[in-house]
Amino acid sequence: MFYPIMNLAIFAVLLALLVGQHRAQKSLSVRVFTGLGLGVLFGATLQLLYGVGSTTVASTLEYVNIVGSGYVSLLKMIIMPLILVSIIGAIVKVKDTSSLGKMSGSVIGILLATTAVSALIGVFVSNLFGLSADGIVQGAREMARAEDLQVRLDGLENVSFADMIRSFFPGNPFADLAGSRPTSTIAVVIFASFIGIAGVTVARTQPEMGASFERFVDVSQSIVRTLVRMVLSLTPYGILALMTKVVAGSNVSDILTLLNFVVASYVGLALILVLHLVLLAVNGISPLRYLKKVSPVLLFAFTSRSSAGTIPLNIETQTKSLGNGDGEANFSASFGATMGQNGCAGLYPAMLAVMIAPTIGINPLDPSFIISLVAIVTISSFGIAGIGGGATFAALIVLSALDMPVALAGLLISIEPLIDMGRTAINVNGSMTSGTITSKWLGHTDSELFDSDRDISETVKQS
């Protein structure tokens, strides 16, 4: 137990360094990037000294992960309260229920359109790098994963697209507030929208009661947002722990074996990011200023691999740094975490399909194949949340719809964490892009706030 204790003592020193930066009033962005760098360095050192799969590393990470997983859990804790009060508040303040349809339609439309283009990018990079399912080594862990995926696929065959859509509606809003279902986030959005509309209706007929309700909502928003800032101030420590776990637990030999797929994936993700920035520029939004303001969010998404866990940071950045309207920020962050995910549901399934196609006699450059693939990817991305969400389920649905074997997704398990980091960051950026563009279209953007140097660091300091 000596070496794990020594490692944990070093980890404690690294945490203390971040505390020192906080006391020195360094910005949140500086502390986040410091946590990232220290996590990479510490994780690489652990792997170099003890080797992959070492019991010493496993024992160390078991306790390091208390900080990482604890931070992610705290973020998840505030997701539902934040969405509930923010959407109700946005509707009550705007007092225009007719704009809800335009807002949600625009957000979902942008998410689905960018997912379709992401699938095309997946086809392009797969052919560019000559990716193929042939020659991928299948070990015991990969075989077990492939068998597990086949079992999951068997369980999905009875789930229709209509079932997925029905699962969005909040039959029991209290259960959804507790996050009991994969689609609970969207269900809470719908529930909050109904409450907000009801509040506006009451205010029209009974102004005094409406004013009391609005004051109650204002107090609730102040409390929840203060809670959000308290949790966000812990971001550097969470990133330090999460990055340590990722680096220390990565198998370098597996990564090198599948390096071509890793590189192709990140080239595709980079192209999707360019797509987002072009869309922003076309709509008169500075891509460089946007990137500067959202970088802490993308960094957390990258290290945590959790789109849902990033929702609070996503919303806070959109409203307090990008100047987006409350409604657009909440709708885009909520929908973007469960549907139309550009990286997980767009790029990844398309790349797998192109890799498998030649092995079953399909030309991956055949226009009819590409059209079918893009259509299936886009439709399935809309309902991924109905069956659990994530890249694995997206791949299962797309491959099975094309009558392709699903085992390849299991063969890539060794590099899954590495590519999932980039996919999650792109998913989150896609949601923020849709919120930013929609807010601009509807005239709800605070241009002065967007043009200012204010970022999420200033928001967290207020706590």
Could you read off the pLDDT tens digit of each residue along the chain, which spans 463 residues? Answer: 789 999 999 999 999 999 999 999 888 778 888 998 999 999 999 988 988 778 999 999 999 999 999 988 898 888 889 889 888 887 887 666 667 788 889 999 999 999 999 999 999 999 999 888 765 545 434 444 445 555 554 555 555 667 777 878 888 999 988 888 777 888 888 899 899 889 989 988 999 998 999 999 989 988 988 898 888 889 899 999 988 988 887 777 667 767 888 899 999 999 999 999 999 999 999 999 999 999 989 988 898 888 888 888 899 899 999 999 988 998 898 888 878 889 988 999 999 999 888 888 889 899 999 999 999 998 878 755 544 446 777 887 788 788 887 766 666 766 777 888 899 999 999 999 999 999 999 999 999 999 987 666 555 555 4
Contacts of 223 (CB under 8 A, 6+ apart): none
At residue 13, the pLDDT reads 96
**Element of type H or E holding 265:** helix 259-282
325: phi > 0 → left, psi -120 to 50 → alpha, else beta; which?
A: beta
454: phi > 0 → left, psi -120 to 50 → alpha, else beta; which?
A: beta
Which tokens belong to 81?
């309260």
At residue 163, the pLDDT reads 73
> Which residue in the block uniquely carries the two structure tokens 């776990």?
245
Residue type, 197: I
At residue 282, the pLDDT reads 97
Contacts of 174 (CB under 8 A, 6+ apart): none
How far is 319 from 336, CA to CA, in rounded Å? 16
Residue type, 389: G
CA distances (Å), 17 to each of 8, 42, 207, 247, 303, in order?
14, 13, 54, 20, 20
CA distances (Å), 68 to each of 71, 383, 425, in order?
5, 29, 17
At residue 21, the pLDDT reads 93
How far is 201 from 193, CA to CA, in rounded Å? 12
How far is 219 from 199, CA to CA, in rounded Å? 15
CA-nearest of 324, 285, 315 to 80 is 315
At residue 388, the pLDDT reads 42
Domain segments of the chain: what residues? 2-461
Q: What is the CA radius of gyration of the chain?
A: 22
CB 245 within 8 A of CB 68: yes
Pick the CATH number of 2-461 from 3.40.630.30, 3.40.50.10710, 1.10.3860.10, 1.20.140.10: 1.10.3860.10
CA-nearest of 71, 23, 337, 84 to 230 is 71
